[in-house]
Amino acid sequence: MSANNGVRRALWKRFIDSAQPTLDRWHEQLEQPELTQERLLQRLLKANSDCAFGRAHHFARIADSMQFRDNVPIHAYAQLHPWIQRAQQESEPILTSRPPLFFERTSGSSALHKAIPYTRDFLSEMHSALGVWLADMHRQVPGISHGSGYWSMSPPLQVPVTGPNGIAVGSASDLEYLSGSNIAGLAGTLLIPEFAGDLSNWRRQTLLALVADADLSFISVWSPTFLTSLLQPIFDGESAEHEQTFAWLDNALPTARRSALRRARSQGVCTELWPRLAAVSCWMDGPSRHYYRQLAARFPQAQWLPKGLFATEGVVSVPFGDGPGCPLAIGSHYLEFLCEDGSLRNAHSLRMGESAQVLLTTGGGLYRYALGDRVRVVGMLGATPRVEFVGRTTVTSDLVGEKLDEHIVQNIFDRCITTTGAACLIPNASAMPPHYLALVATPEDLDAGALALAVESELSNAFHYNQARRLGQLGPLRVRLLKGSADLLAQVLQQAAELSGIRAGDVKPRPLINRLETAEAILALTESSCRHL
C-alpha cells in the first residue's frame, strides 16, 4: 500500500469515527419520523420567528404542523422570489434570522433563474444527510477508502458576484458546501483537477487526472451521462475531436498508464485502467436508469450505488441501508407531500406505492417550497418510507439536468418560427449523447440549418441546458421538417401517443414531449418521411 493510500484510509477512519453520533441519531429518527419532523419544524419556526417572513406568517404563534399549513401557503419559486430579492438587497433578516452565507444559482423548470439562500443552518442540515450517506456507503463498500476518490465538481460557469448587502451570489467551488463539516476532511482523499482555461480544457485535464491515477477507488457523479461524456474520447475512435484528445492523453501519460489506457480502448472496459475501483455512485432511477445501465458495462469491477434525491434547494432522501429506494431525509428538513388526489401528507403517513410531489421547509429560508419533483414509496426502513425519484411534476424534460419546460419551449418556437405551421421539441434519449429534435410542420420552405441554429441559441439561454451542452451531456439540437400544416403534426403526435399506450381521448397537443415512449414513437414515425438536419 502506498503512503498516500495510507493517509487516505486514515482520513476516512477519522471521518467514520466522527460520524458515529450522527448515525446513532439517524437510527433513532428512522423509528420515530413523526416526532422527529415535528421537533424539527418547531425548531425552525422558533429560530426564524423574528425575521420578516416569520413575522408576516406569525411563526411565533404556530403550535403545530396543522397551524403551519394554515398560516403558510405552498410556494413555487415565483412566490418566494420577492422575499429572496429582499434577502439579496437588504441587511435586516428577511427569510431567516441569520443571514445567508451565499446564494447558489440554479434555473429550475421555469424561465426564472433561481438564487437559493445557503445559511449555516441549511448547510448543517445538508451535512447531516451527506454524513449518513458517506458513512453507510463505506459500510457497504469499504474499498472506497483504499485509494483516491473523484467527486464531480463542476467549474463555476458564472463568476460569483456580490449583492448590495455584501452577500455573494454564486459559490466559487463545490467544496464550499462542505465548509465547517467533518466531511471536509475527506477532501484530502480526493482527486481534484485544476480548472484552467475554457471548459474544453477542463474536461481534458479532468480526464487526464483520472486516467493517470491507478489508485482510483471511488467515483461519485450526479448524472451518469456526465461520466459517459467525459470518457467518450477513450472509447470513441470515430470522432476527430475525440481522437485528438486520445492522442493527447496517450502522449501525456507514463508508459504503464499509457498501456492501461490502450487496453481500456481495445477491451471496451475500464477494468485494467482502474483495477482498485470499488464503487461508482450516480443517479440510477427516473430518467437516468437507461443511461446508468449502459455506463455500468464499462465498469464490471465496481459496485454501483444510488444517489438519493439531493437538489440545490435541499435533500429529500438519503442512500442508506439495503432495499429499493432511499429513506426520506427526515432529520434534515421538514417534508410534506402533495398526493395525486390533492391531499397533503406528512412523511410518516405516506403509504406503499403512493406517488407525491415534495414540499420542503429548510433552514435556508424555503417554506413549504414546491420542489417540482415527484417520488414514489417503494419500501420502509423502521417507520420511515423509502422512496424513489419518479420525475418532475410539470410538463418538463430533464434527461441530464437541463430542466426544460413547455412554457420555455413554446416561447422559443414563437420567436424562431414566423411561418404558419406548428412545432414540438422531442428528446432523443437513445442517442449518445442524447439530444433534442425540433419537429416542425409547415407548408412553406424553411432553411432547416438556420432554424436549428436559432432554436439552439434560444435554448442555450436556459442555464442548465447551456451547462449540459457545454459539459457534453447533450448533443446539438437537430431539426426535422414535415411538409404540411399544423394538422399534420397533430396527426403524428396523436398516432405516436396511441402507439405508446396513451388512450386516444387523453392525447393533448404540446410543444414539448416529455414522455420517452411517445418521443421514441414520434422519432420512428418521422424517420423516413422528413427532411433532416
Q: Measuring CA to CA, which residue among 393, 391, 388, 427 is closest to residue 409? A: 427
**What's residue 108's pLDDT?**
41
Q: Return the beta strands (E) in 206-259 as ranges.
A: 216-220
Phi/psi-derived region of residue 368, left when phi > 0, alpha when psi is between -120 and 50, beta in every other case: left
Q: 216 near 276, Cβ under 8 Å?
A: yes
**What's residue 288's pLDDT?**
75
Distance, in Å, from the CA atom of 484 to the CA atom of 486, rounded to the nearest integer, reads 7
Entry field: residues in the chain: 533
**What's residue 295's pLDDT?**
87
**What's residue 143's pLDDT?**
96
Distance, in Å, from the CA atom of 471 to the CA atom of 258, rounded to the nearest integer, reads 25
**What's residue 352's pLDDT?**
95
Q: 395 near 408, Cβ under 8 Å?
A: no
Show pLDDT as tens, one digit a residue, over the chain (533 residues).
Answer: 466 888 999 999 999 999 999 999 999 999 999 999 999 999 999 999 999 999 999 999 999 999 999 999 999 998 999 999 999 999 999 999 999 999 988 744 334 578 999 999 999 999 999 999 999 999 999 999 999 999 987 665 567 788 899 998 877 667 777 878 899 899 899 988 876 666 678 888 999 999 999 999 999 988 887 888 889 899 887 778 889 999 999 999 999 999 999 999 999 999 999 999 999 999 888 767 767 887 899 999 999 999 999 988 999 999 999 889 999 999 999 999 999 888 999 999 999 999 999 999 999 999 999 998 889 999 999 999 999 998 777 777 889 988 888 778 888 998 998 777 789 999 999 998 999 999 998 888 888 999 999 999 999 998 889 999 998 999 999 999 998 877 678 778 878 887 887 654 455 667 899 888 899 999 999 987 655 44
Phi/psi-derived region of residue 104, left when phi > 0, alpha when psi is between -120 and 50, beta in every other case: beta
**What's residue 446's pLDDT?**
86
Distance, in Å, from the CA atom of 226 to the CA atom of 235, rounded to the nearest integer, reads 15
Cis peptide before 433 (omega within 30 of 0): yes
Q: Measuring CA to CA, which residue among 198, 178, 195, 196 is closest to residue 187? A: 178
This model's pTM is above 0.85: no
Q: Measuring CA to CA, which residue among 174, 126, 37 is closest to residue 311? A: 126
3-state secondary structure 65-127: HHHHHHHCCCECHHHHHHHHHHHHHCCCCCCCCCCCCEEEEECCCCCCCEEEEECHHHHHHHH
